[in-house]
Amino acid sequence: MPAAALLAQKPMVKAALKNPHAVIVLALAILVIGLTAIAKLPTDILPTFKTPAVQIVTFYPGMPAEVMEKDIMTRL
């Protein structure tokens, strides 16, 4: 880490060490906000979702539709 970055971080560390109560209050505030956000998330035991639709098209010139369905589509 460059020396300039270390020097820039020192005031923040010094302030945190001088005010341990402020650090604790800030950590608790973040915890409370996080727990509140988790509590407000919508949950459902059986969520609804849309299944993707698949369409398969096969071409076999001269073959009747019934034979296509019986012979080819059952294999797919």
Q: Report CA-CA distances (Å) from 61 to 7, 52, 57, 68, 71.
A: 78, 29, 13, 10, 14
Residues 6+ positions from 58 with CB-CB distance below 8 Å: 68, 72, 73, 76
Category of 53 on φ-ψ map: left (φ > 0), alpha (ψ -120 to 50) or beta: beta
Q: In which domain, by residue range, is 7 found? A: 3-73
pLDDT of 37 reads 95
The domain tally of the chain equals: 1
pLDDT of 75 reads 67
pLDDT of 20 reads 92
pTM exceeding the 0.75 threshold for the entire prediction: no
pLDDT by position in tens, the chain (length 76) = 566 665 666 888 888 888 999 999 999 999 999 999 999 998 888 878 788 888 777 777 888 888 877 877 676 6
